[in-house]
Amino acid sequence: ILNVEQSPQSLHVQEGDSTNFTCSFPSSNFYALHWYRWETAKSPEALFVMTLNGDEKKKGRISATLNTKEGYSYLYIKGSQPEDSATYLCASNSGGYQKVTFGTGTKLQVIP
């Protein structure tokens, strides 16, 4: 993996369903991984910063895991609500301390 890749690009889920998406990043020279939540017409909001292999972070119904050896992070949303509808961005500065790369995001729409 040379770039930060996110999948899926978009998804629709029903209210109450749980969902998850993936961020893949270069595993060499890993420094930190960030997840952001970006609602339309608003500013990106930081959700988590993760640095250690095996890290798990949780904020309410949203949680994230990190595997730095294989270069991936999962974001989980339990019991999705319409207000969870947003684009979820991950960003990593693997591959060099000063090289920061954002993924293109996963656009989530929760259908009431």
Beta carbon of residue 46, minimum distance to other proteins (angstroms, whole number):
5
Beta carbon of residue 43, minimum distance to other proteins (angstroms, whole number):
4
Distance between start and end Cα atoms, the chain = 36
CA distances to 14, 15, 112 from 6, in Å: 21, 22, 25
- For other proteins, the binding residues (CB under 8 A) are 4, 31-32, 34, 36, 41-46, 49, 51, 89, 91-93, 97-98, 100-105
Name the one residue in this structure whose structure tokens are 């999962």.
74
Nearer to other proteins, 22 or 104 (CB): 104
Beta carbon of residue 79, minimum distance to other proteins (angstroms, whole number):
26
Nearer to other proteins, 15 or 45 (CB): 45
* Helix (H) or strand (E) segment spanning residue 21: strand 19-24
Nearer to other proteins, 89 or 110 (CB): 89
- Per-residue tokens: 100: 């920061």
- CA dist 46 and 84 (Å) reads 14
